Amino acid sequence: MIASVRGPVLAVGLDHAVLEAGGVGLALLCPPRTLADLRVGEPARLASSLVVRDDSLTLYGFAGDDERVLFEQLLGVSGIGPRLALAMLAVLTPDEVRQAVATDDLATLTRVPGIGRKGAQRLVLELKDRIGPPDAADAPVLSGVTPGHTAAWAEQVHAALVGLGWAAREAAEAVQAVTPVAQQMLDEGTAPDVPVLLRTALRSLDRAP
């Protein structure tokens, strides 16, 4: 998995950007909002997701880890491919998608070209218990680490808990509960250890009334 690409911007097109990484120019398909912030010749860091098909390897780029995680969650919905998931992020922000799914707001979801009423209903049905509440991406900012890095461990723990069957709200509360543990790891000069944080989160859920 290529989780991110960092390097100078070599080119920006209508639907893609090219970043140089290790002497190689990598083309990433990106939402318009991501492309709007890129400037040729300036350094950039894009969260990324590699989609593997029988006849292609396609890299998708995003302004942050939150967009990448949502993109990958959308790919898990029946009938949603990379292009349609990218179109959704072109029209709606991640929180707008979460809000629409949480409130059964089919009208907002059908604003996306290619998403009809039945597709919107399928999105709500398949994502409601996995996507998290609208503010789930607002992971606490820990000292000594960038917001994107903070979101990475928090999102991984949250996604793992939801995958194990916990409700999105319970998973979000467990992430908050293990934040002091992550802070201690940072204070000791180490990156947050996701497996350790996940085990701690599970213990906190087991103790919940």
Q: How many CB atoms lie within 10 A of CB 3?
A: 11
- Is residue 20 predicted with pLDDT exceeding 90? yes
Q: How far is CA 30 from CA 2, 14, 93, in A?
A: 15, 9, 14
* pLDDT value for 207: 59
If pLDDT is split at 50, 70 and 90, which confidence band does 128 have? confident
The SS3 assignment for 109 reads helix
Tokens of 50: 């590699």
If pLDDT is split at 50, 70 and 90, which confidence band does 134 have? low
Q: What CA–CA distance (Å, rounded) separates 143 from 186?
A: 8
- Is residue 99 predicted with pLDDT exceeding 60? yes
* pLDDT value for 26: 95
- The pLDDT tens digits for 141-169 are 333 333 444 446 777 777 777 777 777 77
Q: How many CB atoms lie within 10 A of CB 75?
A: 15
List CB contacts of 49: < 8 A, sequence separation 6 or more. 1, 2, 59, 60, 62, 68, 71, 72
Q: What CA–CA distance (Å, rounded) separates 68 from 26?
A: 17
Q: Which residue has better confidence, 163 or 42?
A: 42
- The pLDDT tens digits for 43-72 are 999 999 999 888 888 999 999 888 999 999
